[in-house]
Amino acid sequence: MSLPMRLWYLKDADNASALKILAAANYLEVALEVQPLDRTKSSWTNNSEDFRERYDPTGQYPVLELTDPEILTAGSPSHPASNSPRRSASAAAPLTARRLASTLLLNGEASKSRNIFGANAILRFVGRSAGDAADALPPDAAAAGSADEKYIYGRTPFEASQVDMWISFSENELDAANGAFIAAHFAHKDKGGLQVTQPEAEFRKVARVMAALDEVLLIRTFLVGERLTLADIAIAFSVHLAYRCNKRYSEELAKRYRHVYRHYNSVMRHPKIKEVMRQAGATLGPLR
């Protein structure tokens, strides 16, 4: 299913926020037009009034622009998404009515709102778009399933909530604990940036979260259910950022938290995800 969407992001081999979206889209075969911006020529923040009004009020990347009016109504109560129970034909809104309503949105003032900002919000939308494509299968085929069917948002509402839980954990716990190292890493990469050594206390924040995650992964291959989900992708890319930004402690993190490292490798070495990382020029694993 082709879903015309345009992703604006800053091109950088360590930009995990954008890479996880690209990886999920490639894994799920969701059509995504990419608009990479040269990070050496672009600031992390776009302060133009037009960008803030149309895309992200804080001027941040990445942002996703929806270019097809049909997408605006996909996932509505009459058009459920994200691996939800298949809807009946009588429950679906007529295609022409949905298209008319969404076209009016695109042509009106609401056209400024047909964008999604925030890396994890975009990641969730990509996952739900794949679920919406599955809803389009004939009922017999959907019921039968297949050996390679992807349950990117889990199989049940409970599992879908668990996926959201781990996506939130990746941002609110892992990325938050790693915040000082992330800021120092990209400041150093930017023109005029200086190498900053973080105090031991900052590393202890990262270690505490990694230890908790390691305990969870002790008896799990995947975080939710028995197949790869958005939860695994979100967590793996936050771990990737921890490895890449903690030059002093990177190898220690991998050795100390072996179950996290195993999970990270399982996700990152999936052919579809590895392909995205290779194209981005990203290096896998901890710094040596």
Least confident of 35-44, 70-79, 188-197, 208-217: 70-79
* Strand stretches in the chain, DSSP E: 5-11, 33-38, 63-66, 115-117
Bigger pLDDT: 37 vs 163: 163
Span 116-172, pLDDT tens digits: 888 999 999 999 988 654 444 444 444 434 435 688 999 999 999 999 999 999 999
pLDDT at 204 over 70: yes
**What integer pLDDT is reported at residue 63 of this predicted model?**
85
Domain ranges, ordered by start, for the chain:
157-270
The SS3 call for residue 7 is: strand
**Which of 1.20.1640.10, 1.20.1050.10, 1.10.530.10, 1.10.287.130 would CATH assign to domain 157-270?**
1.20.1050.10
Question: Rounded mean pLDDT of the chain?
Answer: 77
**What integer pLDDT is reported at residue 243 of this predicted model?**
94
pLDDT at 35 over 80: yes
pTM for the structure as a whole: 0.78
